[in-house]
Amino acid sequence: AHHFHRLLHLVLSARCCRIPHPVSGNMDVPVKLAKVVKVLGRTGSTGNVTQVRVEFVDDKERSIIRNVKGPVKEGDILTLLEWEREARRLR
């Protein structure tokens, strides 16, 4: 947890948008930061995925719905490796 918070602090303080890719470690993978503005609900066969609405840190006008695995709450900053695709809305 400490490593993640330190990495997030470095990314936000430097206004940098390059982090190591989680699998390859490649530093040339573009990312986009997005803030969770609303938790919409749980999904997945065991309810282990949370659907959230996020707005982009660099473009407050644009928001999309994403599925997040693991704990998440309003105000969290997500690092998106892919930001064009939007999750389908829960029914």
At 9, is the secondary structure helix, strand, or coil? Answer: helix
Residue 43: per-residue pLDDT? 85
pTM (2 d.p.): 0.68
Residue 18: per-residue pLDDT? 58
pLDDT tens sequence across 47-83: 889 999 999 999 889 999 999 999 999 999 998 988 7
How open is the CA angle 75-76-77, to the nearest 5 degrees?
A: 115
Close Cβ partners of 76 (under 8 Å, ≥ 6 residues apart): 35, 36
Close Cβ partners of 16 (under 8 Å, ≥ 6 residues apart): 10
pLDDT tens sequence across 15-46: 445 556 666 666 666 788 999 999 999 988 88
